[in-house]
Amino acid sequence: MSGRKAFVGSIVLAMALGLFAAACSSARTTASAPNATSLGKGAAGAPAAPRSAPNQQRSEAFAGTVDVPVLQPKVVKNADLSLRVKAGTFADVFQQATLVAGRHGGYVASSQTNGSRLHSGSVVIRVPAEQFDAALADLRGLGRVESEHVSGDDVTAQFVDLQARLKNWQAQEAVLLRLMDRSTSISDSVQVEQQLQDVQLNIEEITGQLRVLGDQADYSTITAGMAEVAPVATQPTQQSRFARAWRTAAHAFVAAMSGLVVAIVFILPFGLLALLVALIVLAIRRLRARVPAAPTAPPAG
């Protein structure tokens, strides 16, 4: 039992030493540049006394072994763009928007279109961060910009924090792996393995977060929405109003004459027939007027 307690105590002590060593290495890396500057000056800013050759050599040797990483700023850039295009040009403009991604070394993440008479849609492209401004300028030139929103989120501090946490967990993993090799019983191995699984799970989570954050910083995202605009009807001028009124009057006159012709054609046969009947009656009356009346006989007796 005392041996197991000693082994557990060694696990706790080793993990604490690993965390302390990782924290010390991180702090030493952060403070290495200011300390190197302060060594060359006294408290009042005057040059310090010359150091001995052995001390100077040891300092130079130590300075040569310290590797201070230079971390570039990590900025996540996003843009939302709304464009209006002429009616009938949506398909061509949409295709040009998708080609912007490839022209600047990126790719199309997603796209969608809708509408039957007036079309609309959107395309999401991702381009390298250094090509963000150029790609955005190309998209602006495809139509009339209705709205635009550009954002930049500096995630450098978050990136550094995740890297420091990853180093700490990796230090614990190394300690636990050494303890796993030194374990002499199954129970000790199981106990170390459980803690090792938790540590490795944290390492995988932080590694995934770093991968996603790095991808968002390396490739910027631009969302471009496009919609066709219906053509605006022009207001008629005074001349066009007069011409339209003249055309309306001409159409009305032609319609009236057409109706008159139809009426004449329809009434003419009946009029001719009525005229013929009237002429026959008149002729009969004239004939009767010309024929003398027969003499009447005198009365008898």
Length of the chain: 301
Rounded distance between C-alpha atoms, residue 108 and residue 292, angstroms:
118
Cα–Cα distances in angstroms (integers) from residue 76 to residues 102, 112, 150, 215, 221, in the given order: 20, 24, 11, 9, 9
- DSSP tag of 162: H
**Position 146 in a domain:** yes
- DSSP tag of 50: P
**Position 136 in a domain:** yes
pTM exceeds cut of 0.75: no
Rounded distance between C-alpha atoms, residue 47 and residue 31, angstroms:
21
Task: With cut-offs at 50, 70 and 90, classify the pLDDT of residue 297.
Answer: low
pLDDT top residue among 4 and 137: 137
End-to-end CA distance of the chain: 189
Most confident of 34-43, 168-177, 225-234: 168-177
**Position 6 in a domain:** yes
Q: What is the pLDDT of residues 164-189, one digit of tens each?
A: 999 999 999 999 999 888 888 888 88
CB 14 within 8 A of CB 180: no
∠163-167-169 over CA atoms, to 5°?
Answer: 115
**Position 43 in a domain:** no
**Position 144 in a domain:** yes
Would the pLDDT of 93 be above 90?
Answer: yes
Q: What is the pLDDT of residues 215-224, one digit of tens each?
A: 999 999 999 9
pLDDT top residue among 128 and 189: 128
**Position 177 in a domain:** yes
Task: With cut-offs at 50, 70 and 90, classify the pLDDT of residue 258.
Answer: confident
The residue among 217, 233, 89 whose CA lies nearest residue 154 is 217
Would the pLDDT of 294 be above 80?
Answer: no
CB 58 within 8 A of CB 198: no
Tokens standing for 42? 């006294």
Would the pLDDT of 197 be above 80?
Answer: yes
**Position 222 in a domain:** yes
Average pLDDT of the chain, as a whole number:
76
Would the pLDDT of 67 be above 70?
Answer: no
Quote the number of domains for the chain.
Answer: 1
Rounded distance between C-alpha atoms, residue 203 and residue 170, angstroms:
7
**Position 248 in a domain:** no
Burial code (b: 16+ CB inside 10 Å, e: under 16) for 44-68 equals eeeeeeeeeeeeeeeeeeeeeeeee
What is the model's pLDDT at position 261? 75
Cα–Cα distances in angstroms (integers) from residue 183 to residues 176, 189, 196, 218, 231, in the given order: 10, 6, 13, 44, 81
Tokens standing for 287? 């004939």
Task: With cut-offs at 50, 70 and 90, classify the pLDDT of residue 233.
Answer: low
Which residue has tokens 């303890």? 179
Rounded distance between C-alpha atoms, residue 152 and residue 75, angstroms:
6
∠244-250-254 over CA atoms, to 5°?
Answer: 145
Q: Are strands 107-114 and 120-128 parallel, antiparallel or unpaired?
A: antiparallel
Rounded distance between C-alpha atoms, residue 57 and residue 63, angstroms:
10
Q: Which domain holds residue 152?
A: 1-32+68-232
Tokens standing for 97? 């928007």
Stretch (H or E) spanning 216:
helix 186-218
Tokens standing for 200? 């490795």
| Of the candidate ranges 26-30, 76-80, 151-155, 281-285, the one whose mean pLDDT is the lowest | 26-30
* Partners of 128 in the β-ladder: 219
* pLDDT above 70 coverage of the chain, percent: 69
